[in-house]
């Protein structure tokens, strides 16, 4: 399995500011994903980040609000821009393992953001 590290693990943010979340994986992976989990809710895919190309966003999520970088095969960042209290959520980085391991999806521990 992949070991995924996210920073920050928790933060309290002021309304109107932006925060960048970092995701580091201990092995090279092709696909990285960002999910959002609102308080007490399930997980929703924000976007897919492929190295060397623009991220692909799911319906309801836009690049201006959630810009993503994927500079190499072990690292990605998600920025939550111009935050409002509705952005208070857990943001989760996930990676897809290699085909020989069945394309299994693994998650990091999440970044718990509270917007005040």
Partner 1 sequence: GENVEQHPSTLSVQEGDSAVIKCTYSDSASNYFPWYKQELGKGPQLIIDIRSNVGEKKDQRIAVTLNKTAKHFSLHITETQPEDSAVYFCAASELIQGAQKLVFGQGTRLTINP
Residues that bind partner 1 (CB under 8 A): 1, 30-31, 33, 41-45, 48, 50, 56, 58, 90, 92, 96, 102-110, 112
Q: Report in angstroms how near the CB of residue 96 gets to partner 1 at its nearest.
A: 5
Burial class (CB in 10 A: 0-12, 13-18, 19+), 89: buried
Return phi, psi of residue 41, to 5°: -115, 180
Q: Report in angstroms how near the CB of residue 72 gets to partner 1 at its nearest.
A: 18
Residue placing its CB nearer to partner 1 in the complex, 3 or 63: 3
Residue placing its CB nearer to partner 1 in the complex, 4 or 83: 4
Measured between alpha carbons, how far is residue 88 from residues 39, 64, 72 in Å? 8, 18, 28
Pairing of strands 111-115, 10-13: parallel
Q: Report in angstroms how near the CB of residue 46 gets to partner 1 at its nearest.
A: 11
Residue placing its CB nearer to partner 1 in the complex, 56 or 84: 56
> 18 near 79, Cβ under 8 Å?
yes
């Amino acid at each position: 399995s992949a070991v995924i590290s996210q920073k920050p693990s928790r933060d309290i943010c002021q309304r109107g500011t932006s925060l960048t979340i970092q995701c580091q994986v201990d092995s090279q992976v092709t696909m990285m994903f960002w999910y959002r989990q609102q308080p007490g809710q399930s997980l929703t895919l924000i976007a897919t980040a492929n190295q060397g190309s623009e991220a692909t966003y799911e319906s309801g999520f836009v690049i201006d609000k959630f810009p993503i970088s994927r500079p190499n095969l072990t690292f990605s960042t998600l920025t939550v821009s111009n935050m409002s209290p509705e952005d208070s959520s857990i943001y989760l980085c996930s990676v897809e393992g290699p085909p020989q391991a069945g394309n299994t999806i693994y998650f990091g521990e999440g970044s718990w953001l509270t917007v005040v």
